[in-house]
Structure 1
Amino acid sequence: MTDTPETLRVGILGAGSIFGAYARGLGMVDHLPIVRVADLDQERARAGARKWDIPAWGDADALLADPDVDIVVNITQPAFHAELTEAALRAGKHVYVEKPLAATTAKARENLAVAAETGRVLGCAPDTFLGSAAQTARAAVDSGLIGRPFAATSFVRSSRVETWHQDPSFLFRDGGGPVLDWGPYHLAALVNLLGPVSHVVGVTDRAAEQIVVTAPERRVDRIDVEVDTHASALLKFASGAVVTAMYSFDVWDTTLPHLEIYGTGGTLHLPDPNTFDGPVLVRRRGDEDWSEVPPVMPRVTPDPPTPFRALGVADLAAHLGGEPHRASGEFAYHVLEVLSALEDRDIADGVTEITSTTERPAPVTQRP
């Protein structure tokens, strides 16, 4: 990034559960002030604006019509991503959207086409691979610390969302599920390390047809499960590496690692890809124990840790100033196509060839 980045004003669509993380994170970036927040629930938008000292609030139409908004951050529910992203692009705004890029690959392709048509930039979460842990692992892989990476494991267990979210219904409907909710964090980290995916095979299931919500101040008591909530898969990467993956809302407890990379000369152990920071461990063949890989950049999240999102929006803004676009719409589309191939699958479906590809994002060479 440049030493004196241009100020770009941000409007946030959605004041739900992740809004605070974006408000906190963007509040730490001087050149990305939040000037407006919008939500279907006007009281929630007003309360969010007051809490985070945001000067304007209202509905989506007012935000999109506001000439003071340069970048729209779309953190609405997945079912509304595509519609609101297109509206924002056509309103002349650059857009950064929460994952997934859209609920379907068809809608995601339409969004990419509209971005090209309007000359606007489209970025997408997750941005966690821009943090210190993923970038340290990337430097380790690129330096040959573990030799040639030939395999990896990627395991996601339930966040027990029904115990803390007031209404997690959207996670159990189309556009939700563990594959599209948790999968992007892991797959973005893997593509950053290993490059694009070429083939997918897997099987999905669900442990229950209904979920009991026990969260305090819950708005619903039970949720009908409309998507598969457990997926097991093999991902073949164009580099030749094979990844064993499990993405599940049904597995509550496990001793499995979050993410490990296996090379011809050793193993890398990464922290939860849904976080930006944390130690990366290495054990090379012949080592008696694990050791920490020296971080290539300082931690990017607040200390002590609190919910934080901002790097992807800063990445988009830096791209407008000439930097590489790492958390790009094209990158997110490849992640979405791979994960979409893992939804509602039976073993009889065989192997799915992935038609899209993407470049490995440029390494982060300085603290975002």
Structure 2
Amino acid sequence: MANPIGVGIIGAGNISDQYLTNLTSFPDVRVLAIGDLLEDRARAQAEKYAVPKAGGVDVVLDDPDIQIVVNLTIPASHVPVSEAIIAAGKHVWSEKPIGTGRDEARGMLEKADAAGVRVGIAPDTVLGPGVQTAKRAIARGDIGRPLFATTTFQWQGPEIFHPDPAFLYARGGGPLLDMGPYYVSTLVHVFGPVAAVAALGLKGTESRTVQVGPLAGTEFPVEVPSTISVLMQFEQGGQAQSLYSTDSPLRRQGIVEISGTEGTLVIPDPNTFGGEITITRALTEMVIPPAPIVQRVDDVAQEGVLTGRGLGLLDMARSIRDGRPHIATGEFGYHVLDTLLSIEEAVESRGFVTVDSTIAEAGSLGADFDPYAATL
């Protein structure tokens, strides 16, 4: 492969802007076509980002110069669209989650194996300088042995900005399936595969109301828990507690804290690619109020080139050329889905649920990985 890898996109909705902004700036890939059931929407995005072709889904699937197709459809459509991409003989990069059920997701991965094509699964935020720098700090022993994590995602919900948010509260959505992949993926990168989970869940309301756009004022049902409290046990012994909620007027998002035997590492919001990284050290002497409690906080210099969505696809494209595994694999995405579905089952059973799948240690992206270098 001496030329940039051809890329197509299926799904021209809200998130496509983030992908197109980055993919059209990476020299190693070239976006050749955008397809959508709403063809005018695909054409508008193609014109905006100077993409040569646009129209229906077949515009992407039938293009012989496209090797990787980005699946940006809604979660319920992820597996059937990915299978159509595989049937067309192309590699898949799919937004998270990989699917909404284990059997369909596993079946899709088996079809990809049989066809000899690759599957990559978002989020690729975990490949950004934020999480990758934190992983290197942990590997150096900067916080000693990692013991447990605390993560928090809480706010009032996406209906205040999304013009059609009903799918985010349908099966395959909710704060767990929508935002959980970012946090669980980060924790699996740090602690390894999940062994078991326990959880409690509730619905703040049985319906929500769209607040912006043409559908403003329209009510839609809440089909899944909108608040879930989670405990996780990892195969290698670490633990985590997490909150996912769209029932909170108080906005507290992006909190990821990894506590080890020698310090607590604060990682940037896992829905971003970078940010401030700090390590808080233990007190060295007793502090008695009203004296202020002052702890030593060390800054960790972020390493790597900051970019955005599409980074994982670029790693997959270069991996195809080099004949090596890419990092955000379908198997990793399946383990994350299996964990999230196990959490849903734990909500129903009110007990611990074993996560049946496992994976090898997640790969890492080197600090010298430059998305803006031409290497193909």
Q: TM-score range by the shorter chain?
A: over 0.9
SS at 2:309 equivalent: coil
Given the alignment of the two structures, is residue 224 of structure 1 paired with residue 231 of structure 2, yes or no?
A: no
Shift of residue 31, structure 1, vs aligned partner: 1.8
Contact (CA 8 Å) 2:145, 2:260: kept in 1 or not? yes
Shift of residue 348, structure 1, vs aligned partner: 3.9
Pick aligned residue for 1:23 from 20, 25, 43 = 20
Q: Which residue of 1 aligns with 2:7?
A: 10
Q: How does 1:58-137 map to 2 (within 5 A)?
A: 58-137=55-134
Given the alignment of the two structures, is residue 162 of structure 1 paired with residue 159 of structure 2, yes or no?
A: yes
Pick aligned residue for 1:295 from 293, 302, 316 = 302
Q: Which residue of 2 aligns with 1:280?
A: 277
Given the alignment of the two structures, is residue 215 of structure 1 paired with residue 212 of structure 2, yes or no?
A: yes
Shift of residue 10, structure 1, vs aligned partner: 0.6
Go from structure 1 to structure 2 and tell me whether the alpha carbon gap of 1:45 and 1:289 turns closer, same or farther (over 3 Å shift): same
Contact (CA 8 Å) 1:5, 1:31: kept in 2 or not? no
- Return the letter of the residue paired with 1:297: G
TM-score scaled by structure 2?
A: 0.91
Q: Which residue of 2 aligns with 1:309?
A: 309
Shift of residue 218, structure 1, vs aligned partner: 3.5
Contact (CA 8 Å) 1:150, 1:241: kept in 2 or not? yes
Paired residue total: 358
What CA distance in whole angstroms lies between the structure 1 residues aligned with 2:48 and 2:253? 39
Contact (CA 8 Å) 1:160, 1:252: kept in 2 or not? no
In structure 1, runs of 5+ residues without a counterpart are 302-307
Contact (CA 8 Å) 1:166, 1:220: kept in 2 or not? no
What CA distance in whole angstroms lies between the structure 2 residues aligned with 1:256 and 1:64? 37
Shift of residue 293, structure 1, vs aligned partner: 0.6
Contact (CA 8 Å) 2:253, 2:269: kept in 1 or not? no
In structure 2, runs of 5+ residues without a counterpart are 285-294, 372-376
- Return the letter of the residue paired with 2:331: E
- Deviation sequence 1:174-230 (CA, Å, 0-9, x none): 111111100000111111111110011111111001111111444662111111111
Percentage of pairs with the same residue = 38
Contact (CA 8 Å) 2:4, 2:28: kept in 1 or not? yes
Q: Which residue of 2 aligns with 1:351?
A: 352
- Deviation sequence 1:284-305 (CA, Å, 0-9, x none): 224733221122324x13xxxx
Shift of residue 253, structure 1, vs aligned partner: 1.4
- Whose radius of gyration is greater, 1 or 2? 2
What CA distance in whole angstroms lies between the structure 1 residues aligned with 2:339 and 2:345? 13
Contact (CA 8 Å) 1:74, 1:97: kept in 2 or not? yes
Shift of residue 360, structure 1, vs aligned partner: 2.5
Contact (CA 8 Å) 1:96, 1:313: kept in 2 or not? yes
Compute the RMSD of aligned alpha carbons.
1.7
SS at 2:29 equivalent: coil
Shift of residue 5, structure 1, vs aligned partner: 6.8
TM-score scaled by structure 1?
A: 0.93
What CA distance in whole angstroms lies between the structure 2 residues aligned with 1:289 and 1:87? 54
- Deviation sequence 1:144-199 (CA, Å, 0-9, x none): 11111111011112373111111011101111111110000011111111111001
- Deviation sequence 1:90-115 (CA, Å, 0-9, x none): 11000000000011111110111011
